[in-house]
Amino acid sequence: MDQTLYTRPASIDAVKIHDSFFSRLMQTTVEKLIPYQWEALNDRLADTEPSYCIRNFKAAAGLTDASHGGKVFQDSDLAKWIECAAFSLMWHKDADLERRLDETIALIGQAQQPDGYLDTYYILNGLDKRFTDMMNNHELYCAGHMLEAATAYYHATGKRTLLEIMIRFVDYIDSVIGPEEGKKHGYPGHEVLEMALIKLYEITGDEKHLRLAKYLIDQRGQSPLYFEAEYKKYGNPYHWEKTGMGMKYYQADRPVRSQDKAQGHAVRAGYLYSGMADVARETGDETLVEACRKIWDNITHRQMYITGAIGQSKTGEAFSYDYDLPNALVYGETCAAISLAFFAQRMLRLQPRGEYGDVLERTLYNGTISGMSLDGQRFFYVNPLEVDPQRCEQNEQFRHVKPQRQKWFSCACCPPNLGRLITSLPGYVYHTRGNTAFAVLYTTNDAQLALSGGTLTIKTETRYPWDGVVTMHIENAFDGAQIALRIPGWCKGYALRVNGVAKLLQPMDGFIYLGVAQEDEIVLTLDMPVQVVRANPMVQDDIGKIAVTRGPVVYCLEQPDNGKQLQRVFLRADAHFETQWEPQLLGGVCTIRCMGDRLCFDDWAPDELYGTGAPQYRLQPLTLIPYYAWANRGLSEMTVWIHERLG
Amino acid sequence: MDQTLYTRPASIDAVKIHDSFFSRLMQTTVEKLIPYQWEALNDRLADTEPSYCIRNFKAAAGLTDASHGGKVFQDSDLAKWIECAAFSLMWHKDADLERRLDETIALIGQAQQPDGYLDTYYILNGLDKRFTDMMNNHELYCAGHMLEAATAYYHATGKRTLLEIMIRFVDYIDSVIGPEEGKKHGYPGHEVLEMALIKLYEITGDEKHLRLAKYLIDQRGQSPLYFEAEYKKYGNPYHWEKTGMGMKYYQADRPVRSQDKAQGHAVRAGYLYSGMADVARETGDETLVEACRKIWDNITHRQMYITGAIGQSKTGEAFSYDYDLPNALVYGETCAAISLAFFAQRMLRLQPRGEYGDVLERTLYNGTISGMSLDGQRFFYVNPLEVDPQRCEQNEQFRHVKPQRQKWFSCACCPPNLGRLITSLPGYVYHTRGNTAFAVLYTTNDAQLALSGGTLTIKTETRYPWDGVVTMHIENAFDGAQIALRIPGWCKGYALRVNGVAKLLQPMDGFIYLGVAQEDEIVLTLDMPVQVVRANPMVQDDIGKIAVTRGPVVYCLEQPDNGKQLQRVFLRADAHFETQWEPQLLGGVCTIRCMGDRLCFDDWAPDELYGTGAPQYRLQPLTLIPYYAWANRGLSEMTVWIHERLG
């Protein structure tokens, strides 16, 4: 394949972020989340269910005789922790952490079976049953996450131990699954191995790694359906049979190229689509590119919350249907938003279009990082856009929505997943292709970008996302080097000056392309007024409501600033908004203030439930905060969508 | 007790209804529902799960050796059918039906055990286990329904066979349950026996029947909790342990006099509260009256939909909390609205206040009868106030809401329950106390009301609920006779003329009291304009929305008249409304027409999910139909609450 068609993200260690926004997240992850999760993995957290992760590996290694504990996919928690920690080593050296990783990897090696197999659930519960319930039992999922961890640790340290362990396991998988007679014609019940194999292939260049990834994608949903045959043959449970989802839950009801809507479990879906984009890129398969585009359009034009959250329905943590975006009854799993960021990153690689960067940015500033408290120790699984704590507590239909972040989960997929996203954030700032550096995210950073003709050094300074001025110093350039500046979709006006001279350039597909020379100073000013946003009228839950955004940041009303019963607040679209930088608030945020109206009771008898009185309103000063920062000040109501006051 | 304090409903055979509204329901029930359900009880309906009801009784009688089929409470379906049929015999003689009832009652007698016990589930599954799971297993519920059937059949025919069967069973229950040492200190897991025992007591005058009813009420929720001890002792399941409801599901977490909010399973709750009001009346216990009033206020001022539906949450088919009234995610079981009608009827007996009649009327014209199709052969269990069929089909969280009435249910509680309400409708029209006849409902009818001083004959003509003029002819009166006319809460203006002369009388507690004489012609004109109703601002789901009512009838927008995507319809409160009597439409309804606005797309790029365009509207003629008549014209959207257009 002609890989010059495609971009690749700059490597994590090529971009040093030192802003106040992403750096805060990255520092919190290094200082709090990584050590906190290590305690969790070792069952040393009080008041939470044990993880059993390390215990399982010790038992699988024959060091103890404990039975398997936790979920069937418990190994993946350790894998995500390793990956998260590995990424962090690329910008934050920590010899103790590296030593701990080496010890853990040694333990993993001890747990590996002579034939290469590695999954503590089956090692401890009977290897004869392995690969007999691929629909439900997550062996390939755990393999995928551990393989991702292995590639990350290799990139971070150059050490190949875990990589070799996982190459042996992949060889074993390859001997069991595939198109050949006698092999299982199956694929993962929970996708992620597809992406992971491509990461491996990018290191090894070994075609068999690409071939296996491609097989898992191509075979998925082919008739006869493997999962259907499997559950009948082995008498496995089929949990989704009686719902409207069935095999759609697994994106396995029909071949992926025939799927044109996002469906089923949202995290599974996001990982599949990311893997499809990876395989499409590495094979140049236009039919697969087309399938990715259709699904991308379906998600981002039909099934995505304004925060970048996806997966509307609690049942199956799943997509539902086009324009169905309930705000209080949402699922919006943190992991699902993360999977959308992965998909966006890969769509960008296929084609550098601004819209992919827009969605990436939407998830990164809103629906992913909302999953972690500012102190890095509490986590949301579900990310609602509207919360009334009383409803979550007293109406059982809303019980899955937690109005406060939780300490840990027995199914702890989200915290380490968010961790690995955050520690890999430097890898999302730039893409490169040929001699072009694509500036996808704007953040203060120093970058050394390996382009075809040489290394381009860019130092960027900005207060983004709180301010739209981005100043880039080119410190090292060469003939033909160019930079492509993303003009975000939310931006209605911008100015570009190079060395003080205004440049009138139009974006192509969302990027302004600009040749650069040594010592250039590029100042991009993105107009960043407060914006009042409405949803497409097809979105029934947002009709009559508006949301407030500024730049990439989605705002919300929260109870500590605005009192209870936030649904009684009305806001005019033409309100006068004032922004204010508040360094002491919520880790430093820009707040938005305005006057709103509160529906009041003057006309209501205390006990009148239904009446003919006219609505009356009282002026109320409102303060909006960034959505990601909500639920850091105690139990409170919150809403993103606000009733619009007309008339 | 001084029973002259309390009213009593006129007996069903004292009031001959011959209007077009209730008569249509009553005829449909007699012609369609009763024979249809008889087929169901005998497992002769195609395409539905068998009922097993008659088969179970035959097996219990030793006539076959079939095992028990259906739910543990399956007997109650037969009981409700008998009660429904019995009521119908009071206004629609049918010798064949009566013969069938006698045969069925003979079968029930054959199934009864020598000790009086009668529940086919335990007769067929082991009598040793009876009364070991009163929390879950419905013996007392089935007993209650069969006892109600027995009293109804006795009133209808004077025949005592079923009554004597049930008196023997009640004696057995009395020997097992009670305050004495050695008896079980329990009460029904699903209430209804309390009400039934009072109906029995009204026939027998036997204090032990009242005493047992009072015990069941007084003992409920006393510490130590009987259900808690029971499930631990016998190892029974405790389904609600892990929800927020726990024992509240059964209204059994604390004594009933300490309960001040409606809680738990809504049908159980409504039956309990009705039984409490019965016992309060028969014992004159003011503490119990006070408990009833508190709970009444809580329901009707805080937890009742505008249609009279109650029970907001699918989980547990239960109440949730004050002002929590989601429209699309509602439960609103038909049986629950029926239980509210029962409660209203009994609150009226305690004190003739108009508000009790208002709620009775709200349920009877809206949230109860919405449960049955116009042809009497399809039924709603759940009665939503807003439906989008796509959402019900494709978002699993809404799957319990059926956009079309179903043929039958394996748990078929609602159809026969609605049947027995409808065939007893003549019993809701008048109450009497001393020499006063309380006109609670307005419908064309001939009534012979037994008052203290004699029989008062009233002939009423009206087109209510489509017109507010009610003409009453007094054909037989005596000295001191008076009539109390309910002025509905929705009525903002009325005129009263007696023999052509205007009378300026003020209502007391919602009733105008008027002495009557022979040959009087009373014309009550209730102003019945179209009304725009709003919900109390505490109801977050109705904020920014209005509902349209006329008289007691709640209206809705439905797709056949107004197209899809009804949430895009906006309506101005000051719209010009026109009413039109349409005899051919939906069994004859008054429709309401007006101009509304439809939120449109002019400003939206086809693929833009979130944008900054202003909302635009296009004029659209709207037709509203009565809520009860929706879903009779194929699969369609519907909404009661409509976005209000301001500005």
How much is the pLDDT for B544?
96
- Report the alpha-carbon distance of residue A139 to residue A444 in Å, rounded: 40
Which chain B residues touch A570 with a CB distance below 8 Å? 544
**What mean pLDDT, rounded, does chain B reach?**
96
Q: What is the pLDDT of residues B251-301, one digit of tens each?
A: 999 999 999 999 999 999 999 999 999 999 999 999 999 999 999 999 999
- CB–CB of A314 and B396 under 8 A? yes
- Report the alpha-carbon distance of residue B56 to residue B64 in Å, rounded: 9
B588-B381-B48-B249 Cα dihedral, nearest 10 degrees = -160
- Amino acid identity at A50: P
- CB–CB of A321 and B395 under 8 A? yes
* Cβ count within 10 A of residue B4: 9
Domain with CATH 2.60.420 in chain A: 434-526
What are the DSSP calls for A367-380, one per residue? ITGGGB-TTSS-B-
Q: How confident is the model at residue B411 (pLDDT cuts 50, 70, 90)?
A: low
Q: How confident is the model at residue A71 (pLDDT cuts 50, 70, 90)?
A: very high
- Domain B3-428: state its class: mainly alpha
pLDDT at position B647 over 90: no
What are the DSSP calls for A491-520, one per residue? -S-EEEEETTEEE----BTTEEEEE--TT-
Q: Long-range contacts: B34-39, Cβ < 8 Å, 24+?
A: B34/B81, B34/B84, B34/B85, B34/B88, B34/B97, B34/B419, B36/B376, B36/B377, B37/B77, B37/B81, B37/B84, B37/B415, B37/B416, B37/B419, B38/B81, B38/B100
- Report the alpha-carbon distance of residue A439 to residue A87 in Å, rounded: 21
Q: What separation, in Å, do the N-terminal and C-terminal C-alpha atoms of chain B show?
A: 60
- CB–CB of A536 and B390 under 8 A? no
Measured N-to-C along each axis, helices B266-283 and B207-219 cross at an angle, to the nearest 10 degrees, of 130
What are the DSSP calls for B319-355, one per residue? ---TT---SSS---BHHHHHHHHHHHHHHHHH---HH
Instruction: With beta carbons less than 8 A apart as the criterion, state whether B239 and B264 touch.
Output: no
For tokens 């409808």, the residue is: B422
Q: Find the helix or strand (DSSP H, E) in which B607 lies.
A: none
- Report the alpha-carbon distance of residue B579 to residue A613 in Å, rounded: 22
Closest residue in chain B to residue A645, using alpha carbons only = B646
pLDDT at position A119 over 80: yes
Q: What is the pLDDT of residues A306-356, one digit of tens each?
A: 999 999 999 999 999 999 999 999 999 999 999 999 999 999 999 999 999
Which chain B residues touch A243 with a CB distance below 8 Å? 396, 399
Closest CA–CA distance from residue B525 to any residue of chain A (Å): 21
Angle in degrees, CA A212, A209, A79, rounded to 5: 95
Q: Closest Cα to residue A547, out of A529, A537, A562, A535?
A: A535
Cβ burial of B287 (10 Å; 0-12, 13-18, 19+) is exposed
- For residue B209, what are its two tokens? 């029947």
- Report the alpha-carbon distance of residue B146 to residue B149 in Å, rounded: 5
DSSP designation for A476: E
- Amino acid identity at B483: I
Count how many residues are written for chain B: 647
Which chain B residues touch A612 with a CB distance below 8 Å? 492, 531-534
How much is the pLDDT for B45?
86
- Report the alpha-carbon distance of residue B439 to residue B483 in Å, rounded: 7
Q: A434-526 adopts what CATH topology?
A: Maltose phosphorylase, domain 3 (2.60.420)
- Report the alpha-carbon distance of residue B547 to residue B305 in Å, rounded: 11
Q: Closest Cα to residue A68, out of A170, A10, A139?
A: A139
- CB–CB of B536 and A609 under 8 A? yes
Out of A393, A544, A599, the one facing B537 most closely (by C-beta) is A599
DSSP designation for A613: P
How much is the pLDDT for A409?
64
Distances, alpha carbon B65 to alpha carbons B41, B52, B60, B125, B139, in Å: 18, 13, 8, 12, 21
- Report the alpha-carbon distance of residue B63 to residue B582 in Å, rounded: 53
Instruction: With beta carbons less than 8 A apart as the criterion, state whether A224 and A236 touch.
Output: no
The mean pLDDT of B551-575, rounded to a whole number, is 97
Q: What is the pLDDT of residues B370-393, one digit of tens each?
A: 999 999 889 999 999 999 999 999
How much is the pLDDT for B601?
80
- Report the alpha-carbon distance of residue A414 to residue A595 in Å, rounded: 37
Output the pTM of the full model.
0.95
Chains A, B: CB contacts under 8 A, how many?
A: 175
Closest CA–CA distance from residue A455 to any residue of chain B (Å): 38
The mean pLDDT of B91-118, rounded to a whole number, is 98
The mean pLDDT of B346-372, rounded to a whole number, is 97
Residue B51 CA, chain-centre distance (Å), reads 23
Closest CA–CA distance from residue B535 to any residue of chain A (Å): 5
pLDDT at position B408 over 80: no
Q: What is the edge-to-edge ordering of all strands in the sheet holding B15-17? A: B15-17, B445-451, B454-462, B469-476, B521-526, B494-498, B501-503
Task: Clarify whether B461 is annotated catalytic.
Answer: no
* Cβ count within 10 A of residue A301: 18
Instruction: With beta carbons less than 8 A apart as the criterion, state whether A539 and B609 touch.
Output: yes
Task: Clarify whether B317 is annotated catalytic.
Answer: yes
Distances, alpha carbon B537 to alpha carbons A407, A567, B302, B433, in Å: 35, 9, 11, 39
- Report the alpha-carbon distance of residue A339 to residue B522 in Å, rounded: 73
For tokens 């730049």, the residue is: A551
Closest residue in chain B to residue A243, using alpha carbons only = B396
Q: What is the pLDDT of residues A538-573, one digit of tens each?
A: 999 999 999 999 999 999 999 999 999 999 999 999
How much is the pLDDT for B211?
98
How much is the pLDDT for B531?
98
Query: At a CB cut-off of 8 Å and minimum separation 6, what does B73 contact?
Result: B121, B138, B141, B142, B190
User: Which of A609, A612, A627, A643 is the best substitution to test chain B (most B C-beta atoms within 10 A)?
Assistant: A609
How much is the pLDDT for A3?
60
Beta-sheet strands, E only, within A266-387 = 386-387
HSE toward the beta carbon, residue B477, CA cutoff 13 A:
21
pLDDT at position A447 over 60: yes
How much is the pLDDT for A320?
96
Domain with CATH 1.50.10 in chain B: 3-428
Q: How confident is the model at residue A647 (pLDDT cuts 50, 70, 90)?
A: confident
- CB–CB of B399 and A302 under 8 A? no
Q: Closest Cα to residue B71, out of B128, B137, B123?
A: B137
Which residue of the set B142, B413, B491, B556 is catalytic? B413
Least confident of A117-131, A411-425, A430-444: A411-425
Closest CA–CA distance from residue A59 to any residue of chain B (Å): 33
ipTM of the complex: 0.95
How much is the pLDDT for B564?
96
Instruction: With beta carbons less than 8 A apart as the criterion, state whether A575 and A12 touch.
Output: no
Residue B65 CA, chain-centre distance (Å), reads 37
Helix (H, G, I), strand (E, B) or coil at A589: strand
Distances, alpha carbon A179 to alpha carbons A209, A213, A218, in Å: 14, 12, 10
What is the pairing mode between strands B642-644 and B569-571? parallel
Q: What is the pLDDT of residues B120-146, one digit of tens each?
A: 999 999 999 999 999 999 999 999 999
**What mean pLDDT, rounded, does chain A reach?**
96
- CB–CB of B646 and A647 under 8 A? yes
Q: Find the helix or strand (DSSP H, E) in which A101 lies.
A: helix A95-111
Instruction: With beta carbons less than 8 A apart as the criterion, state whether B580 and B593 touch.
Output: yes
Which chain B residues touch A610 with a CB distance below 8 Å? 306, 533-536, 547
* Cβ count within 10 A of residue B20: 13
- Report the alpha-carbon distance of residue B581 to residue B591 in Å, rounded: 6
Cβ burial of A116 (10 Å; 0-12, 13-18, 19+) is middle
Q: What is the pLDDT of residues A217-252, one digit of tens each?
A: 999 999 999 999 999 999 999 999 988 899 999 999
Handedness of CA A509, A510, A513, A518 (dihedral sign): negative
Helix (H, G, I), strand (E, B) or coil at A134: coil
Q: How confident is the model at residue A2 (pLDDT cuts 50, 70, 90)?
A: low
Q: What is the pLDDT of residues B307-343, one digit of tens each?
A: 999 999 999 999 999 999 999 999 999 999 999 999 9
- For residue A422, what are its two tokens? 């955050």
